[in-house]
């Protein structure tokens, strides 16, 4: 497992289920059934503690785990989360 915190592009179905991802300029197609992860919170995927001045809990982030395969046959498992503030997808972890 590799912890990552990078911006990625994720295409989802009408139901919001991931179908494709672009990571580091390479396209991967989802090659199994994505699993919705328990809601995570921005910052909780790192070892960084919250600043004690924070007075409100962060918004939960929609998160998914799925296997995806590139055009060359390389396969990874991706954990992605949708940032509730920017509405952008973040890659949280990869598994080779």
* pLDDT, tens digit, 9 for 90 and up, residues 56-77: 666 667 899 999 999 999 999 9
Structural domain range at position 50? 2-95
Q: In the chain, which residues have pLDDT < 70?
A: 39-60
* pTM of the predicted structure, to 2 decimals: 0.77
Q: List, in sequence order, every beta strand (DSSP E) within 13-88.
A: 18-23, 26-30, 35-36, 62-70, 75-82
Alpha helix (H) residue ranges in the chain: none
When divided into structural domains, the chain yields a total of 1
Distances 2 to 13, 45, 46, 58, 93 between C-alpha atoms, Å: 27, 12, 12, 24, 5
């Amino acid at each position: 497992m590799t912890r990552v915190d990078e911006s990625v592009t994720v295409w989802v179905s009408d139901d919001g289920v991931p179908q494709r991802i672009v990571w580091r300029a390479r396209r991967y197609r989802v090659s199994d059934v994505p699993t919705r992860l328990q809601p995570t919170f921005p910052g909780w995927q790192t070892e960084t503690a919250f600043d004690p001045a924070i007075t409100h809990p962060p918004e939960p982030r929609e998160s998914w785990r799925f296997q995806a395969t590139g055009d060359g046959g390389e396969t990874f498992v991706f954990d992605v989360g949708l940032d509730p503030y920017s509405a952008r997808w973040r890659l949280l972890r990869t598994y080779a």
